[in-house]
Structure 1
Amino acid sequence: MSGFGVRVALSEADRESCFAVRRDVFVAEQGVPEELEYDTYDAGAVHVLAVRADGVPLGTGRLLTGEAAAVKNGGAADVGALGRLAVTKAARGLGVGAALVRAIEDAARERGLAAVDLHAQTHALGFYERLGYEVYGPEFPDAGIPHRAMRKPLD
């Protein structure tokens, strides 16, 4: 789909759009409790936002670095943590999710990180595998949803 762009969410309005997409996808659609969806890591995260040409938000994701990422990935200082990737129902299948992942990987490279980890919902494993991520470790629940850890080295 042409007609959308992805950018780092720098303004408060952009960040609110990111949170609104997450609320629609994770809280309303998937039933994740709101108190679990938003956390202390949001303040220091790099948030990315996909928007249609007319400004309508289509998707979001975030990158954690430093100590926040180390908590998520088992302590590796040079590995970022991709998370909270969400695409609105209307935008699914249009390439928005892949564009968001690429933007997060670019942000990780800009920060000198060697790899990106993520915790994927098991139904989304194929999506991430097509983008070069590999599964490691056992399945685990997160907010009552089965997940697997995945990692992609950055070049």
Structure 2
Amino acid sequence: MSAPYTVRVAENPADREACFAVRKEVFVVEQGVPQDIEYDAYDAVAVQVLAVGEDGVPLGTGRLLYGARAAEKTGGDPSLGSLGRLAVRREARGLGVGVALVRAIEEAARARGLTAVDLHAQTHALGFYERLGYTPYGPEYPEAGIPHRAMRRAL
């Protein structure tokens, strides 16, 4: 049986708006992240990935930064990608959407010749990323008022 959703790179303005709507629901409304820091200049250049249910409803999203933009977030190494803004709507959690989004972002990173992916994980999500092969490093730190840790996975 196939999953009740598809995951694809956001290829048009409607897809990108769907990604932003999911992020607003999860980060701004649910987690209280200020809207003015949720969206940034990286959004215009990132690879946005979107999960959509069989009914066409957006279920989740994430983004990949690479090249110079990722180097700004990963300490200057252009061979690293930066996975970020991973969000799954509450009603879609537990369906494997987050795993599918991470794997799609990793595939996009491989396609661009990257050797590893870094991310800033909310500490409550460390176990999720560890199950996907990510290793935490460095100290815990606040980001948007939420505890985070840096993590990395070689591709």
**TM-score if structure 2 supplies the norm length?**
0.98
Rounded to whole Å, the distance in 2 between the matches of 1:153 and 1:2 is 26
Q: Does 1:23 align with 2:32?
A: no
Structural RMSD (CA): 0.7
Q: Does 1:105 align with 2:126?
A: no
Q: Secondary structure at the match of 2:56?
A: coil
The aligned amino acid for 2:97 is: V
Rounded to whole Å, the distance in 1 between the matches of 2:103 and 2:44 is 22
Q: Does 1:114 align with 2:90?
A: no
Structure 2 partner of 1:10: 11
Shift of residue 82 of structure 1? 0.0
Q: Does 1:72 align with 2:64?
A: no
Structure 2 partner of 1:83: 84
Q: Secondary structure at the match of 1:5?
A: strand
Give ranges in structure 1 of 5+ residues lacking alignment.
Answer: none
The aligned amino acid for 2:65 is: L
Structure 1 segments of 4+ aligned residues over 6 angstroms from their partners:
none
Structure 2 partner of 1:137: 138
**TM-score if structure 1 supplies the norm length?**
0.98
Identity across matched positions, percent: 72
